[in-house]
Amino acid sequence: MRQVGALPWLLAAAPGSALAHSPFQGLSSFLNGILHPLMVPAHLLLLLALGLLIGKHDPARHQPVVLAFLLASIAGLLITHSADVLLLPAVLLASTVVIGLLVVANVPVHPRLLLLAALACGLMLGLDSNPEVYTGKALSGALFGSGIGIYLLLIYPMGLADSMRNRAWQRIGVRVLGSWISASALLVLTLQFAPALNS
Protein backbone atom coordinates (compact mmCIF):
# COMPACT_ATOMS: atom_id res chain seq x y z
CA MET A 1 0.00 0.00 0.00
CA ARG A 2 2.83 2.38 0.87
CA GLN A 3 4.38 1.69 -2.53
CA VAL A 4 1.09 2.57 -4.27
CA GLY A 5 0.83 5.75 -2.22
CA ALA A 6 4.30 6.76 -3.32
CA LEU A 7 3.47 6.41 -7.04
CA PRO A 8 2.02 9.93 -7.57
CA TRP A 9 5.08 11.45 -5.88
CA LEU A 10 7.37 9.31 -8.00
CA LEU A 11 5.59 10.44 -11.17
CA ALA A 12 5.65 14.07 -10.03
CA ALA A 13 9.38 13.84 -9.47
CA ALA A 14 9.96 12.20 -12.84
CA PRO A 15 12.30 14.29 -14.96
CA GLY A 16 10.65 15.81 -17.99
CA SER A 17 11.75 18.26 -20.65
CA ALA A 18 13.67 21.30 -19.43
CA LEU A 19 12.19 24.43 -20.93
CA ALA A 20 14.30 27.55 -21.17
CA HIS A 21 12.74 30.83 -22.22
CA SER A 22 14.51 33.08 -24.69
CA PRO A 23 14.41 36.78 -23.83
CA PHE A 24 12.95 39.64 -25.84
CA GLN A 25 15.67 41.28 -27.93
CA GLY A 26 16.28 44.94 -27.16
CA LEU A 27 14.96 44.78 -23.61
CA SER A 28 17.24 44.84 -20.61
CA SER A 29 17.68 41.71 -18.53
CA PHE A 30 15.70 43.39 -15.72
CA LEU A 31 12.67 44.05 -17.96
CA ASN A 32 12.92 40.57 -19.42
CA GLY A 33 12.87 39.28 -15.85
CA ILE A 34 9.68 41.21 -15.05
CA LEU A 35 8.02 39.78 -18.17
CA HIS A 36 9.26 36.24 -17.51
CA PRO A 37 6.34 35.01 -15.33
CA LEU A 38 3.90 36.67 -17.74
CA MET A 39 5.37 34.90 -20.75
CA VAL A 40 5.66 31.44 -19.21
CA PRO A 41 2.11 30.04 -19.18
CA ALA A 42 2.84 27.51 -16.41
CA HIS A 43 3.99 30.34 -14.11
CA LEU A 44 1.15 32.65 -15.11
CA LEU A 45 -1.58 30.06 -14.49
CA LEU A 46 -0.12 29.04 -11.11
CA LEU A 47 0.13 32.68 -10.02
CA LEU A 48 -3.43 33.38 -11.17
CA ALA A 49 -4.76 30.32 -9.33
CA LEU A 50 -2.87 31.09 -6.11
CA GLY A 51 -3.78 34.78 -6.26
CA LEU A 52 -7.47 33.94 -6.66
CA LEU A 53 -7.32 31.41 -3.80
CA ILE A 54 -5.68 33.86 -1.38
CA GLY A 55 -7.99 36.65 -2.56
CA LYS A 56 -11.05 34.53 -1.76
CA HIS A 57 -9.87 34.18 1.83
CA ASP A 58 -9.75 37.84 2.90
CA PRO A 59 -6.09 38.74 2.19
CA ALA A 60 -6.12 41.44 4.87
CA ARG A 61 -6.35 38.64 7.47
CA HIS A 62 -3.73 36.54 5.69
CA GLN A 63 -0.85 38.98 5.27
CA PRO A 64 1.68 36.40 6.58
CA VAL A 65 0.69 34.19 3.60
CA VAL A 66 1.68 36.89 1.13
CA LEU A 67 4.87 37.60 3.08
CA ALA A 68 5.71 33.87 3.11
CA PHE A 69 5.16 33.70 -0.66
CA LEU A 70 7.46 36.68 -1.19
CA LEU A 71 10.22 35.28 1.03
CA ALA A 72 9.95 31.80 -0.53
CA SER A 73 10.15 33.22 -4.06
CA ILE A 74 13.21 35.31 -3.07
CA ALA A 75 14.80 32.16 -1.57
CA GLY A 76 14.08 30.26 -4.81
CA LEU A 77 15.58 33.06 -6.92
CA LEU A 78 18.70 33.17 -4.74
CA ILE A 79 19.15 29.40 -4.98
CA THR A 80 18.72 29.37 -8.76
CA HIS A 81 21.22 32.27 -8.98
CA SER A 82 23.96 30.15 -7.48
CA ALA A 83 23.03 26.64 -8.63
CA ASP A 84 21.43 25.02 -11.65
CA VAL A 85 18.04 23.78 -10.52
CA LEU A 86 15.78 21.84 -12.83
CA LEU A 87 12.16 22.05 -11.75
CA LEU A 88 9.74 19.82 -13.58
CA PRO A 89 6.85 21.41 -15.46
CA ALA A 90 4.58 18.60 -14.22
CA VAL A 91 5.01 19.75 -10.61
CA LEU A 92 3.94 23.31 -11.48
CA LEU A 93 0.99 22.01 -13.53
CA ALA A 94 -0.17 19.57 -10.85
CA SER A 95 -0.03 22.37 -8.27
CA THR A 96 -2.05 24.59 -10.61
CA VAL A 97 -4.73 21.90 -11.07
CA VAL A 98 -5.09 21.39 -7.30
CA ILE A 99 -5.15 25.11 -6.41
CA GLY A 100 -7.57 25.84 -9.27
CA LEU A 101 -9.89 23.11 -8.00
CA LEU A 102 -9.75 24.65 -4.50
CA VAL A 103 -10.93 27.92 -6.09
CA VAL A 104 -13.76 26.04 -7.86
CA ALA A 105 -14.77 24.08 -4.76
CA ASN A 106 -15.30 27.32 -2.82
CA VAL A 107 -14.39 25.66 0.46
CA PRO A 108 -12.57 27.53 3.23
CA VAL A 109 -8.91 26.52 3.23
CA HIS A 110 -7.15 26.23 6.59
CA PRO A 111 -4.70 29.16 7.08
CA ARG A 112 -1.79 26.75 7.59
CA LEU A 113 -2.56 24.98 4.31
CA LEU A 114 -2.78 28.35 2.58
CA LEU A 115 0.60 29.27 4.07
CA LEU A 116 2.10 25.97 2.94
CA ALA A 117 0.73 26.42 -0.59
CA ALA A 118 2.15 29.96 -0.74
CA LEU A 119 5.56 28.78 0.47
CA ALA A 120 5.70 25.88 -1.98
CA CYS A 121 4.50 27.93 -4.96
CA GLY A 122 6.83 30.84 -4.17
CA LEU A 123 9.81 28.52 -3.89
CA MET A 124 8.94 26.61 -7.09
CA LEU A 125 8.41 29.77 -9.12
CA GLY A 126 11.68 31.24 -7.86
CA LEU A 127 13.61 28.07 -8.65
CA ASP A 128 12.11 27.85 -12.15
CA SER A 129 12.86 31.46 -13.07
CA ASN A 130 16.47 31.11 -14.21
CA PRO A 131 16.57 32.57 -17.74
CA GLU A 132 19.73 30.54 -18.52
CA VAL A 133 20.88 33.02 -21.18
CA TYR A 134 22.28 35.54 -18.69
CA THR A 135 25.35 35.46 -16.49
CA GLY A 136 26.86 37.73 -13.87
CA LYS A 137 25.23 41.13 -13.38
CA ALA A 138 22.66 40.54 -16.13
CA LEU A 139 21.52 37.35 -14.39
CA SER A 140 21.10 39.21 -11.11
CA GLY A 141 19.06 41.89 -12.90
CA ALA A 142 16.86 39.29 -14.61
CA LEU A 143 16.19 37.42 -11.37
CA PHE A 144 15.46 40.70 -9.53
CA GLY A 145 12.98 41.55 -12.28
CA SER A 146 11.44 38.07 -12.09
CA GLY A 147 10.91 38.53 -8.36
CA ILE A 148 9.00 41.77 -8.99
CA GLY A 149 7.03 40.19 -11.84
CA ILE A 150 6.10 37.15 -9.74
CA TYR A 151 4.98 39.35 -6.83
CA LEU A 152 2.88 41.65 -9.07
CA LEU A 153 1.23 38.72 -10.82
CA LEU A 154 0.17 37.33 -7.45
CA ILE A 155 -1.10 40.65 -6.13
CA TYR A 156 -3.35 41.53 -9.11
CA PRO A 157 -5.54 38.37 -9.19
CA MET A 158 -5.56 38.43 -5.38
CA GLY A 159 -6.94 41.97 -5.43
CA LEU A 160 -9.46 40.96 -8.09
CA ALA A 161 -10.75 38.00 -6.07
CA ASP A 162 -10.80 40.11 -2.90
CA SER A 163 -12.91 42.76 -4.59
CA MET A 164 -15.28 40.10 -5.93
CA ARG A 165 -16.30 38.54 -2.62
CA ASN A 166 -19.42 40.60 -2.00
CA ARG A 167 -21.97 39.50 -4.59
CA ALA A 168 -22.98 35.98 -5.59
CA TRP A 169 -22.32 36.46 -9.33
CA GLN A 170 -18.87 37.87 -8.55
CA ARG A 171 -17.96 34.82 -6.47
CA ILE A 172 -19.26 32.61 -9.29
CA GLY A 173 -17.05 34.52 -11.75
CA VAL A 174 -13.97 33.74 -9.64
CA ARG A 175 -14.97 30.05 -9.53
CA VAL A 176 -15.41 30.01 -13.32
CA LEU A 177 -11.88 31.45 -13.66
CA GLY A 178 -10.64 28.69 -11.34
CA SER A 179 -12.27 26.02 -13.53
CA TRP A 180 -10.67 27.51 -16.67
CA ILE A 181 -7.24 27.49 -15.03
CA SER A 182 -7.60 23.92 -13.74
CA ALA A 183 -8.91 22.65 -17.07
CA SER A 184 -6.01 24.21 -19.02
CA ALA A 185 -3.39 22.84 -16.62
CA LEU A 186 -5.00 19.38 -16.48
CA LEU A 187 -4.84 19.03 -20.27
CA VAL A 188 -1.16 19.90 -20.46
CA LEU A 189 -0.37 17.75 -17.42
CA THR A 190 -1.88 14.84 -19.35
CA LEU A 191 0.22 15.81 -22.35
CA GLN A 192 3.35 15.61 -20.16
CA PHE A 193 2.60 12.01 -19.28
CA ALA A 194 1.02 11.00 -22.61
CA PRO A 195 4.21 9.34 -23.99
CA ALA A 196 4.55 7.21 -20.84
CA LEU A 197 0.82 6.37 -20.81
CA ASN A 198 0.75 5.50 -24.52
CA SER A 199 3.80 3.20 -24.37
Q: Which residues bind other proteins (CB under 8 A)?
A: 10, 13-24, 39-42, 45, 93, 104, 132, 169, 172, 175-176, 179-180, 182-188, 190-191, 194-198
Q: How many residues does the chain have?
A: 199
Q: Quote the least distance from Cβ 169 to other proteins, whole Å.
A: 8
CB of 186 to other proteins, least distance (A): 4
Name the amino acid, one letter, at 101.
Answer: L
Residues 6+ apart with CB under 8 A from 27: 35
Determine the longest span between alpha carbons in the chain, in angstroms: 55
| Shorter beta-carbon distance to other proteins: residue 108 or 193 | 193
Shortest separation between residue 101's beta carbon and other proteins, angstroms: 8
Find the Cα–Cα–Cα–Cα dihedral 62, 80, 22, 47, rounded to 10°. Answer: -10
Closest to other proteins by CB, 93 vs 154, is: 93
Nearer to other proteins, 163 or 179 (CB): 179
Nearer to other proteins, 148 or 191 (CB): 191
Check: CB of residue 150 under 8 Å from CB of residue 86.
no
Pick the closer one to other proteins by CB: 19 or 148: 19
**Least CB distance from residue 108 to other proteins, whole Å?**
18
Report the distance separating Cα 66 and Cα 18, nearest Å.
28
Rounded Cα gap, residues 13 and 124, in angstroms: 13
**Neighbouring C-alpha atoms within 13 Å toward the C-beta of 54:** 31
Dist CA 191 CA 100 (whole Å): 18
CB of 23 to other proteins, least distance (A): 8
